[in-house]
Amino acid sequence: DAGITQSPRHKVTETGTPVTLRCHQTENHRYMYWYRQDPGHGLRLIHYSYGVKDTDKGEVSDGYSVSRSKTEDFLLTLESATSSQTSVYFCAISESTSGETQYFGPGTRLLVL
C-alpha cells in the first residue's frame, strides 16, 4: 500500500469555523490532490499540487485553500466551514500526471453542523 495518511479521520465542526485537513505521504511523489466524495457525484477535484509551493484549483475550489510547504505534506483548509462542505475528503498522490495511477488515502469524514 502507498504510504498515505490523512488526519483527522473524522471531524465534527460548526458552521463558520476554519478547518484544516492534513495529507501526509512517504512515497516522495510529486503530485498531490484533494477530492471530495458525495453521493451521486463520484469524486470531484478541489485542488492539486505539482510541487512544493505549486498548487492550482480544481473544479470545486470555492471555499477551500491549500498549502504545500514540504513534498510530503498537503494541507486543505476550509476557511469558514459551511454545511455544504459536509463530505468525505480524499487525498491522492501520483508520480506524474497523464496516465498515471493515483493512490488514495483512507479519507476524512467531515460533518459541519
| Interface residue list for other proteins (CB under 8 A) | 4, 31, 33, 35, 40-45, 48, 50, 56, 58-59, 90, 92, 96-107
Cell of 110: 467531515
Based on CB atoms, which residue is closest to other proteins, 42 or 53? 42
CB of 102 to other proteins, least distance (A): 7
Based on CB atoms, which residue is closest to other proteins, 42 or 62? 42
Based on CB atoms, which residue is closest to other proteins, 8 or 16? 8
Sole residue written with cell 516522495: 28
Asked whether the beta carbons of 64 and 51 are under 8 A apart, the reply is: no
Half-sphere exposure of 101 toward its Cβ, with a 13 Å CA cutoff? Answer: 4
Among 82, 90, 81, 78, which residue's Cα sits nearest to residue 43?
90
CB of 75 to other proteins, least distance (A): 18
Cell of 19: 478547518
CB of 83 to other proteins, least distance (A): 22
